[in-house]
Structure 1
Amino acid sequence: MLKLNQVIGQHQSEVITLNFIKQSNQLISGDCHSNWIRCLILNNNEDLFISSSNDKTIKFWFKKNEWICQQTITDHSSQVYQLSLNDQQMQVISCGYDILILVIEQSEPNKYWNVKQKIQVDCKGYRLCFINDNLFAFQPENGNLISLNQKILQQIKERKVVYYFHNNLFNKNNQLLISMINMYILIRFTENAEFKVEQSIQFGTNYIYGQLSDDGEYMINWDQTSNEMQIRKLKEQ
């Protein structure tokens, strides 16, 4: 059972991002004060986090005695909604309001991050995530398509805009991609990048937040309709 342990009240506006650093037992949180923090991701070593915000920038923060911003990418011309880091930890992709996907790579030996590719898409996208080092999923604002590297793989019946507080989630242990289009769509990927929709969970609202456990066995959600936290366990058929 879960129970409330502590309340931290330092933020003065809504908290948008929350990340747990396991090695140091710390939390990193970002809110919507001034320019919103839209997304925050950590690398595997937990000595780097990358943030994006409404100020059109992507920032790289490195851990020394404290967290320091060492680099800023300014190639987006509008809000940057989502970031994803690949398995090798050498490539970051981003999407935002400016109908642009950036591919950013880390160079050797100076470890500097450079924009290697700009992918123009048909409309702005709120969510994207790496499936593996060579494949990523992108969800445009229309909400009726899920694309893999611009190739449309899944046509879903027409629904409204995907609300942009919820991340696409991909778990490598069970190869499940979880995407939100007024509901959760669970898509299973095979080694050949084939796929099938395994389950749809109806929520009836765009205001859905959620996260997977590291092993992919549990999913926790909060939605505006129920105003409750719900925990679901994966049950293979």
Structure 2
Amino acid sequence: MYQQYNQKNQVKFCYELLSELTIHQKQVCYAITFNQNKQLVLVCCDLNIKVYQFNDGYLKLISILSKSRFTITVLSFFKNNRKCQFLSGSCDSFIEVRSITQLRSQKYTQKLDSHKNGINCLVIGQDQNMFLSGCVGQAIKLWSCFQQNQRSCQWSCQQTITDHTNSVYTLDINSKQNKAVSCGYDDTMLIMDIIKNMETYQLVLKQKIKLPNFSYRILFINDSDFIFQSYSAKFLQLFQQDQNEKYFITYSLPVQCKSQPCNIFFQPQFIQSKGYFVCKNSQNLNFVYHNPVNNELVLLYSIYFDNYEQYGSLSEDGEYLITWNQKLEQIEIRKYKLIDDKNN
């Protein structure tokens, strides 16, 4: 479906706003996330986390989890020992681990306090036993989970990378979980190998690239190539390796960008089943296809928001998009829709 859809250009689509399902929310919302089967949605609500049951676009509030004195910035589901849990990070520098079996409880499974500054980004590895986090300070931390028994595990910080000289804004890990990449406010990109040895992991810096500007968004689109969206730039760039395994720009795609301001949150996603990735740029959310045959990037579709303060995510299958609109103070739900243009 991936190549057929894009190369033959047989399918056109849009994300239709389901205005009747809009929910009012005045409190700031920097992160929204679906669980894997899109039955649950977590929504940041300033200091709290709202837990919704999701059913064909309808959100039913089932719990509100109190967090702390500081705004929540990142949310991510993961599975460990076949149990579904989620991570939340906030401006107070803490990362909390919670279980979905305790959604009506205010208790967390574990509180991670190794960071000294607010959490900007977090990405979980494919095996669900490690993740990376970046903060307002210069630190990237590698966390791993060791099984203590069949029922629980404990996360611990295994390594801290301090090669950035300012805030870390974005992180990603490839699907093989052997490479990681980061960008920060210091206009620097770090490319790292992930080495696994038994139950331990290690980050090894392989390349440091000085950039003309910083970035909020970076994403692996396969096990070696990644895309890079410089801050409110009119081009999205593809990075690939040369024969010496050094990364460089191989393609630049003009993308939609209506105004200069942007914000760090709303990380890019690759939608495997639909064959495209999604990357926000200022007031636009761009849907892009990468042709692996000629390494061409193709802009398929773009959603223009009326303001850049929009945060959210897509379901794993790409069927739904949920965002928080800061200007209108509401949560908005959009659904994937095929466009039949045979009569056009």
2:336 is the counterpart of 1:234:
yes
Aligned residues with identical type, % of pairs: 32
CA-CA distance at 1:120 after TM superposition: 1.3
Gapped regions of structure 1 (runs ≥ 5): none
Amino acid at match of 1:50: L
**Which of the pair has the greater relative contact order for Cα pairs under 8 Å at 6+ separation?**
2
Amino acid at match of 1:27: F
Task: Report the number of matched residues.
Answer: 237
Query: Mean Cα displacement is larger for which, 57-66 or 84-93?
Result: 57-66
Shift of 1:191: 2.6
Matched, 1:163 2:222: no
Q: Is the 8 A contact 1:175 1:190 kept in 2?
A: no
Asked if the contact 1:126/1:140 (under 8 Å) is kept, the reply is yes
Amino acid at match of 2:134: S
Cα distance in 2 for residues equivalent to 1:122 and 1:116: 20
Amino acid corresponding to residue 70 of structure 1 in structure 2: Q
Task: State the shift of 1:32 in Å.
Answer: 0.9
Shift of 1:235: 2.6
CA deviation map 1:38-72 (0-9, x unaligned): 00111122111110001201101111231110111
The structural deviation recorded for 1:218 is 1.9
1:29 is matched with which residue?
88
Closer/same/farther in 2, CA of residues 89 and 7 from structure 1, 3 Å limit: same
Instruction: Using structure 2 for the length normalisation, give the TM-score.
Output: 0.65
Alignment partners' CA distance in 2, 1:157 and 1:210: 18
- Of structures 1 and 2, the larger Rg is shown by 2
State how 1:42-121 maps to structure 2 within 5 Å.
Answer: 42-64=124-146, 65-107=153-195, 109=197, 111-121=201-211
1:124 corresponds, among 214, 228, 240, to 214
Judge conservation of contact 2:126–2:176 (CA < 8 Å) in 1: no
Q: Does the 8 Å CA contact 1:183/1:204 hold for their aligned counterparts? A: no
Q: 1:203 to 1:144 in 2, by over 3 A?
A: same
Residue of structure 2 equivalent to 1:14: 71
Q: What runs of 5+ residues in structure 2 fail to find an aligned partner? A: 1-57, 94-116, 147-152, 240-248, 340-344
Worse-matched range after superposition: 37-46 or 210-219: 210-219
RMSD: 1.8
1:152 is displaced (CA, Å) by 4.5
Alignment-derived partner of residue 134 in structure 1? 224
Distance 1:25 1:178 in 2: 25
Residue aligning to 1:190: 291
